[in-house]
Structure 1
Amino acid sequence: MEPQLIKTELVEGHIALVTIDNPPVNAHSTQVLDELMWTFDSLSDRDEVRVAVLTGAGKVFCAGADIKSRVGVERKPGDHWQGSRRAREAYHCIMECQKPVIAAINGPALGGGLAIAASCDILVASEKGCLGLPEIDVGLLGGGRHAQRLFGHSRLRRMMLTGLRVYGPELYRLGIVEECTTPETLMDVAMGLAREIASKSPIASRLAKHSLNQIEEMSLRDGYRFEQGMTGQLGKTEDSREAMRAFVEKRKPVFTGR
């Protein structure tokens, strides 16, 4: 596949910059969802990439479903289920990507756009970035379960029942994003986080993300046991031995991904 609406650029230090570029509001059309899946699945297999930054072109991160394309269109049998499955898999391909993904929320991330942002590992937002569930106003539902990973009980219900948008400063106050920046400095902050992650062992990052995904709904006992198993796997790698040597020798480690 040669993606047209999801642009990927390999930048300094093992970082992939992924941009949703579907003017005017980066709505997630069928093509966008298919290209998201292909992009993040391919990043999993690219050894030169250790971390990805996901953002939107222009002033919007992702406005979610393309409502205009739905008006007046008669759905064929199976269309709803196919579209729903495509959206689910597109979000999960970000969660399941072998590389950590940072969301740089440059503008509104609404509905499915919120789900895309919530599927990332670390979130940063500009003052103009916001998360919202506007489906109540356009005859739809959805996105609540993804938002539930970010917001508390009352705020989530207010968002879903009223269409409230929560902007960068409030997202930072609530601890939902790591930083709230000016629009001009958003990418610098996101790239700084990406460089820090990319400096770590890519094996350790991959196993850490996999562990966090798996233990999210496990009991304390089962979750910690799973982490211990991942620690055992990591300890067999050259990167693990190099990290220990570097610590003892008081120098920066040189990781090879082996």
Structure 2
Amino acid sequence: MRNELIKVTIQDKVAIVKMDSPPVNAWSLAFTEEFIEVFDELYDTPEARCILVTGREKMFSAGADIKQRGAVGAKPGDRTRHMRRMREVGNCIMESNKPVIAAVNGPALGVGMAPIVNADIILASDNAFFCMPEIDIGLMGGARHTMKIFPHSLARRMILTGYRLPAAEAYRRGIIEACVPLEELMPAAMEIALNIASKSPKAIGLAKRAINTVENMPLRDGYRFEQNLTNEMTQHEDSKEAMRAFLEKRKPVFKDTE
């Protein structure tokens, strides 16, 4: 991995992905491409069983790089390529075969919310807020993703007014898992990440496949899909190891492969 604008460290089977492009983690072309590249590489990294995304210091991400955004469209095909690239920011997170935790350490605006709305679990520090400012800066986008995790009226308020939703309010509404002081954020996020990383890689991969597939399926079809995955899981050595460990009252020992 490049470790230039996106710093990656793997600790106890948790990949910590830190957006580190001063001063505000704006999504420039280079930043966007490196972010997608990181998730592509982590997909094939067995040493990582869970991914934790955060930002630098007290800033998660201020969103689009407006200075660079103004140059989009200078050449034929620029806008199309840019739109496709930005779609992949969300896709690379959603399609990850590992659970993704967003530890929101400060403001998250516009496309800076992509790692959040596409994550599996969200925690935030009490200095963080969530905002869709496109209405005020001549842009559009992100409505469907915003509507995925925010309630009906609140999502529309954010999209139509640029309302800044404080992390404390997001927690009160049940949108995020925790709102804690900044210094407690990473320990809280790591506690969950380490719990996930202790599970069977095979089980984690199947659970992610189930989550990503059944979300928009009818109940009957979704449950049948999950049952097929259950059948697949029971034929794996990790399933046998989990059952043995349960009966022997010990912690299971799983391999680093699916």
Q: Give the TM-score band, short-chain normalised.
A: over 0.9
The equivalent residue for 2:201 is 202
Shift of 1:238: 0.8
The 5-angstrom pairing of residues 64-213 of structure 1 reads: 64-71=63-70, 75-213=74-212
Deviations 1:190-233 (A, max 9, x none): 11111110111111111101110011111111111111111111
Pairwise CA RMSD of aligned residues? 1.4
Which amino acid letter does the alignment assign opposite residue 156 of structure 1?
A: A
Residue 236 of structure 1: CA displacement?
1.0
Query: Structure 1 vs Structure 2: percent identity of aligned residues?
Result: 52
Opposite residue 154 of structure 1, the aligned amino acid is S
Q: Is the 8 A contact 2:36 2:88 kept in 1?
A: yes
Does residue 42 of the first structure (1) align with residue 51 of the second (2)?
no
> Which residue of the partner structure matches residue 10 of structure 2?
10
Residue identity in the other structure for 1:200? K
1:115–1:147 Cα contact (<8 Å) kept:
no
Instruction: Render the CA deviation track for 1:117-155: whole Å, top value 9, x for unaligned.
Output: 111111000001121100011011111111111111110
Secondary structure at 2:68 match in 1: coil
Give SS of 1:197's match: helix
Q: Report the equivalent of 1:58.
A: 57
User: Within 2, Cα distance between the matches of 1:6 and 1:237?
Assistant: 35
Counterparts of 1:208 and 1:216, CA distance in 2: 12
Aligned residue pairs: how many? 257
Q: CA deviation at 1:116?
A: 2.0
Is this contact kept in 1: 2:53–2:115, CA < 8 A?
no
Counterpart position of 1:245: 244
DSSP 3-state at the match of 2:199: coil
Contact 1:21 / 1:56 at 8 angstroms: preserved in 2? Answer: yes
C-alpha change, 1:201 and 1:75, in structure 2 (3 Å) is same
Separation of aligned partners in 1, 2:171 and 2:161: 21
TM-score normalised by structure 2 residue count: 0.96
- Helix, strand or coil for the counterpart of 2:54? strand
- Paired letter, 1:224: Y
5+ residue gaps in structure 1?
none
Name stretches of at least 5 consecutive residues in structure 2 with no aligned partner. Answer: none
Tell me if the contact between 1:8 and 1:18 (Cα under 8 Å) persists in the aligned partners: yes
Give the match for residue 234 of structure 1: 233
Q: Which amino acid aligns with 1:7?
A: K
CA distance in 2, matches of 1:3, 1:81: 28
Secondary structure of 2:193's counterpart equals helix
Aligned twin of 2:217: 218
CA spacing shift, 1:219–1:138, aligned 2, 3 Å? same
Deviation at 1:167, TM superposition (A): 1.4
Does residue 1:30 correspond to 2:29, yes or no? yes
Deviation at 1:73, TM superposition (A): 6.6
1:5-58 residue CA offsets vs partner (Å, 9 max, x unmatched): 1110111x2111101111111011111111111111111111111111100112
> Residues of 2 paired with 1:209 and 1:72: CA distance?
38
Q: Distance in 2 between matches of 1:53 and 1:33?
A: 17
Question: How much does 1:3 deviate?
Answer: 4.1
The 3-state SS of whatever aligns with 1:104 is strand
In structure 1, distance between residues paired with 2:112 and 2:170: 15
TM-score, normalisation: structure 1: 0.96
Note closer, same or farther for the CA distance 1:65–1:243 as it changes in structure 2 (3 Å cut).
same
**Separation (CA, whole Å) in 1 of partners of 2:101 and 2:241:** 26
Q: How far off is 1:251 after superposition?
A: 1.7
